[in-house]
Structure 1
Amino acid sequence: MTAGKGIMHCEMLETESIEGLQLWVNLSRRDKMCEPSYQEADESELLKAEGDGVKVTIIAGTCLGETARTITRTPNYFLIVELGRGKTLNQEIPDGWNAIVYVLNGTVSIGNTKITRFQAGILTQNGELRVESSKRSQICFDGWKTNRWACSAIWIICYEHSWRSKTSLWWRQKLQKWVWSRQRMGIKDQQLIIS
């Protein structure tokens, strides 16, 4: 999803709990007021790559020589990586990028640092990232090109979070508040996208 000049977004879930990860990347000044857009893909439609005990679902960016079809205005990686026991992922982090590794299952090492389930490693150096697994592990790797803003990305982790349905009145009130705030900012055109 690209929020651009404004988007109202709602996720209606079929179950009471969810496991999910979201990476919100700040747009460059040039793209701040772009038209909102939304891309959706089922698990079966996401690009997969595999090599030497490493399986990768490539949601955005490039890994193991494969590039996702996802269109992003800010260059980024969003990878779900499964590492077999004793296997290694080597992933390039371009200059001027930030990156983070979040361990979903297992234990991995980056240099001399071990990261275990539900822990994150924030990477401060560019170049080649080397993630090694001591046992079967699953990680989420995210990288994004930074811009001049202090906050380049917000990472949201929802794991087994219970969602409560909101009433239609609650949603109408939220929508009206959103419309009023856009009008105060002088934005006349409205777009509502609900998924």
Structure 2
Amino acid sequence: MSTEHQTSGISKSRSVVKSLSPLLKTEAAGSYLLCIGSKELMSFDPFLLLLEFTLTHELTDHPHRGFETFTYMLEGAQTYQDFVGNKGTIRAGDVQWMTAGRGIVHSEDKIYSPCGGLHLFINLSSEDKMMEPRFQEVVGEEIKKAEKDGIEVRVLAGESMGIKTPVFTRTPTMLLDVIMKPGTEWHQSISVWNNSTETLRFVLIAGQPLHEPVVQNRSFVMNTEAEIQKASEDFQFHKNGFENARPWSSQPISSLNRN
């Protein structure tokens, strides 16, 4: 994992500073492979949390404020719905970006097992934390990819090998799914050689650091404790972005279809 400043789609070269082993963590909604986000691994500005998740049942209605989320489904299918009116299903290979901004309440549920993928939380700058929520979805067959000399790159966000995604991230982010055949090499700000006899697959994530204080709980990410308390109060009393939370509740899976 490297964090980089992006300018015009080109990032300065960075070397590997540290290699970290992921932590296995089990939560109410399923088993998660915790990559970043623990107290020991909080220096990945602007990233807050990266999970390789297995969803075992529904995540009940819950709020967010102050950050963006990225979901990349690797297997199975998952429904989603929120109080803004977005609802549908993402399947293996699909990508979903949600900018919570000033406030969103949503829920997620699996369609069938196994169901899992990658889930990334990305911080928003102080000036963007109270923006209106936004939602983007790209189905797998529409994700742009480049193939050359035994290298395949799916461009989930940002740019690679002359391919640029239409997905807009409020905090500049690059996210690439890279597959390298044996004996190949790939260069993009970093250099990777696959000298093994097996195919190599990895995700490269980079983002523009915000250099701002981070205070977070399970639902909200702000710059101060006072702002966290204010977010909790706004959600409790259905104001300042959470007005729709009062009448809204998630619907049964059977009523949901892909947008």
- Which residue does 1:187 correspond to in 2? 240
Q: Distance in 2 between matches of 1:83 and 1:53?
A: 6
- 1:150 Cα deviation from its structure 2 partner: 5.1
Matching of residues 124-163 of structure 1 within 5 Å? 128-133=189-194, 134=196, 135-149=198-212
Q: Distance in 2 between matches of 1:143 and 1:188?
A: 29
- Identify the structure with the greater strand proportion: 2
- 1:181 Cα deviation from its structure 2 partner: 4.7
* Maintained 8 Å contact 1:49/1:64: yes
* Maintained 8 Å contact 1:179/1:190: no
- 1:61 Cα deviation from its structure 2 partner: 0.5
Matching of residues 42-191 of structure 1 within 5 Å? 42-91=139-188, 128-133=189-194, 134=196, 135-149=198-212, 181-183=234-236, 187=240, 189-191=242-244
Please report the TM-score for the alignment, with normalisation by the length of structure 2.
Answer: 0.46
Q: 1 or 2 for the larger relative contact order (CA 8 Å, sep ≥6)?
A: 1
Q: Distance in 2 between matches of 1:28 and 1:185?
A: 23
Q: Distance in 2 between matches of 1:34 and 1:150?
A: 18
Count matched residues.
Answer: 134
Distance 1:191 1:46, change over 3 A: farther
Q: Distance in 1 between matches of 2:115 and 2:190?
A: 30
- 1:80 Cα deviation from its structure 2 partner: 0.7
Please report the TM-score for the alignment, with normalisation by the length of structure 1.
Answer: 0.60
Structure 1 residue 21 corresponds to structure 2 residue 118 = yes
Q: Distance in 1 between matches of 2:241 and 2:110?
A: 31
Report Cα offsets for 1:89-133 as digits up to 9, x if no partner.
211xxxxxxxxxxxxxxxxxxxxxxxxxxxxxxxxxxxx201221
Unmatched segments (≥5 aa) in structure 2: 1-97, 215-230, 251-255
Distance 1:183 1:131, change over 3 A: same
Q: 1:6 aligns with which of 103, 119, 131?
A: 103
Report Cα offsets for 1:14-46 as digits up to 9, x if no partner.
113223012211011111111101111111111
Aligned AA (1:50): E
Q: Distance in 2 between matches of 1:188 and 1:139?
A: 37
Report Cα offsets for 1:134-167 as digits up to 9, x if no partner.
231111111111101356xxxxxxxxxxxxxxxx
Unmatched segments (≥5 aa) in structure 1: 92-127, 152-177
Percent same amino acid at aligned positions?
Answer: 32
- 1:9 Cα deviation from its structure 2 partner: 2.5
Question: Over aligned residues, Cα RMSD in angstroms?
Answer: 2.8
